[in-house]
């Protein structure tokens, strides 16, 4: 609200666009005194005449004929006409969506989610809802949130161990870390499928890139190898980059101006690029010869850190790059063992400024090598007998990848903290709202 001599200007926004509209209220209104005293955050319904604006800043304005005060906001409304830090806004996540930045974030998030479905629908992929409650830890990292109805004060025990046989599902269950394993089952029946749903990691991490609850996009393709997997990942990311630039242009210009100068140029570069492909072994050699010192060591057999990934994409390639065929010991049991016996058909897509944005692999479709890998990493084959059945009966080469939806939004908006691209972030010690 701005009240001057004989006139009140209302900046009104319904969330549909970054730019609101200016409402001009004059003393002729029956309730002008009430209207001119309204506080920031109030809800109003305005009827009036849309007309060209004589003032700078907007082409059109609404000359009010009536203003109904639907819901007044008092002086304790937590967002006033000043710039608030993202840290402060996280403490009022129920209100922050009314700000310019978060309005732009969640409009882009909504539009991208719909485009994800369009991309796969156009290619004939089946959309699968995989379970949220699961008895398997797909990644084998033991980072599941437990789901139980047992009495936490006095759980039943057998030989000193908690007796999950008396739990709701008669076994230990948790929130899923991935829908991949179930997705593989569907790929063997429908050829091309994808999942897009919530996933959970009970990892006690407070970094700007980790959340305990996030959304994952996971396609799976039968009769596909690692090269096919990379082809799909490249087409997918390019499509989403192009869509954000073309269909979310107002919000993207805002991010480019206010959040990350150079964002549009960088996203445009990815949308136009031909993605390079580099073997893990070559990547390690390039890093060893780099004329810079890294915080983390570079040796064959070690996983790449963010600093390594960014060097490769920003300094070596100058654009997106797939790193392919990683050492088996740093990758999951389900990835296909290569003929050399020491690497697996895995890939990570690295992009400038962020590093890894997509991770995928060709899956091990052969029964005996898969059982061997499970035994190596300490997974009892009987615990995933249903998964092994697909290798016994009509197995095909297949491949897929995972893309964290929030990581994608961070990349496309320039927002630097995952807590600021999901409506109500779940992180260690935080489950408010």
pLDDT in tens, 99-157: 999 999 999 999 999 999 999 999 999 999 999 999 876 555 568 899 999 999 999 99
Exposed, middle or buried by CB within 10 Å (0-12, 13-18, 19+), for 239?
middle
User: Considering the entire predicted model, what is its pTM?
Assistant: 0.94
Band (pLDDT 50/70/90 cuts) for residue 5 is: confident
Cα pseudo-dihedral 13, 16, 19, 20, rounded to 10: -20
What burial letters (b/e) apply to 151-178, b meaning 16+ CB within 10 Å? eeeeeeeeeeeeebeebeeeeebbbbbb
Q: CA 3, CA 43: separation in Å to the nearest integer?
A: 17
**Residue carrying structure tokens 């809800």:** 43
pLDDT in tens, 258-300: 999 999 999 999 999 999 999 999 999 999 999 999 999 999 9
C-alpha separations of 103 from 10, 181, 253, 259 in Å: 19, 35, 13, 14
Is the CB of residue 23 less than 8 Å from the CB of residue 67? yes
Give 283-352 as a DSSP string.
HHHHHHT-SS--SS---TTSPPPHHHHHHIIIIIISS-EEEEEEEGGGS-TTBPBPTTSSEEEEEEEEET
Q: What is the pLDDT of residue 234?
A: 98
Q: CA 213, CA 427: separation in Å to the nearest integer?
A: 8
pLDDT in tens, 297-306: 999 999 999 9
Supply 219's token pair: 């396609």
Band (pLDDT 50/70/90 cuts) for residue 20 is: very high
Q: What is the pLDDT of residue 202?
A: 93
The proportion of the chain whose per-residue pLDDT surpasses 70, expressed as a percent, equals: 99
Is the CB of residue 81 less than 8 Å from the CB of residue 74? no
Cα pseudo-dihedral 387, 391, 394, 397, rounded to 10: 110
pLDDT in tens, 145-193: 999 999 999 999 999 999 999 999 999 999 999 999 999 999 999 999 9
Any idea what DSSP says for residue 38?
A: P
pLDDT in tens, 364-388: 999 999 999 999 999 999 989 999 9
C-alpha separations of 393 from 37, 128, 337, 388, 396 in Å: 73, 21, 20, 9, 9
């Amino acid at each position: 609200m701005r009240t001057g001599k004989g006139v009140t200007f209302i900046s009104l926004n319904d969330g549909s666009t970054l730019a609101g509209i200016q409402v001009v209220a004059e003393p002729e209104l029956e309730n002008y005194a009430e209207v001119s005293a309204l506080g920031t955050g109030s809800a109003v319904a305005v009827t009036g005449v849309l007309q060209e604006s004589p003032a700078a800043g907007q082409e059109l304005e609404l000359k009010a004929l009536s203003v109904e005060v639907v819901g007044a906001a008092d002086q304790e409304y937590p967002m006033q006409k000043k710039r608030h830090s993202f840290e402060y806004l996280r403490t009022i996540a129920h209100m922050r969506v009314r700000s310019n930045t978060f309005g732009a974030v969640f409009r882009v998030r909504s539009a991208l989610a719909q485009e994800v479905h369009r991309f796969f629908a156009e290619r004939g992929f089946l959309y699968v809802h995989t379970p949220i409650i699961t008895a398997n830890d797909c990644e084998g990292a033991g980072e599941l949130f437990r789901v139980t109805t047992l009495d936490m004060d006095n759980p039943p025990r057998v030989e000193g161990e908690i007796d999950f046989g008396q739990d709701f599902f008669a076994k230990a269950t948790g929130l899923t870390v991935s829908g991949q394993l179930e997705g593989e089952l569907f790929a063997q029946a429908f050829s091309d499928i994808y999942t897009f749903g919530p996933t959970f990691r009970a990892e006690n991490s407070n970094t700007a890139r980790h959340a305990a609850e996030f959304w994952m996009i996971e396609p799976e393709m039968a009769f596909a190898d690692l090269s096919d997997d990379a082809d799909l990942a490249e087409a997918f990311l390019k499509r989403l980059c192009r869509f954000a630039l073309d269909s979310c242009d107002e919000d993207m210009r805002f991010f480019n101006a206010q959040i990350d100068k150079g964002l549009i140029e960088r996203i445009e570069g990815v949308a136009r690029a031909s993605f390079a492909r580099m073997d893990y072994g070559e990547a390690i050699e390039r890093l060893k010869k780099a004329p810079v010192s890294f915080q983390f060591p570079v040796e064959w057999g070690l996983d790449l850190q963010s600093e390594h990934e960014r060097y490769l994409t920003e300094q070596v390639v100058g654009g997106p790059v797939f790193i392919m065929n990683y050492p088996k010991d740093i990758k999951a049991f389900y990835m296909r063992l290569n003929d050399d016996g020491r690497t697996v058909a895995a890939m990570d897509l690295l992009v400038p400024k962020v590093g890894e944005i997509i991770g995928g692999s060709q899956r091990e479709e052969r029964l005996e090598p898969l059982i061997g890998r499970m035994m190596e990493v300490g997974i009892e084959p009987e615990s995933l007998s249903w998964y092994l059945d697909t290798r016994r009966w009509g197995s095909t080469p297949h491949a897929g990848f995972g893309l964290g939806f929030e990581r994608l939004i961070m990349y496309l908006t320039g927002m630097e903290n995952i807590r600021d691209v999901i409506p109500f972030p779940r992180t260690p010690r935080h489950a408010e709202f």
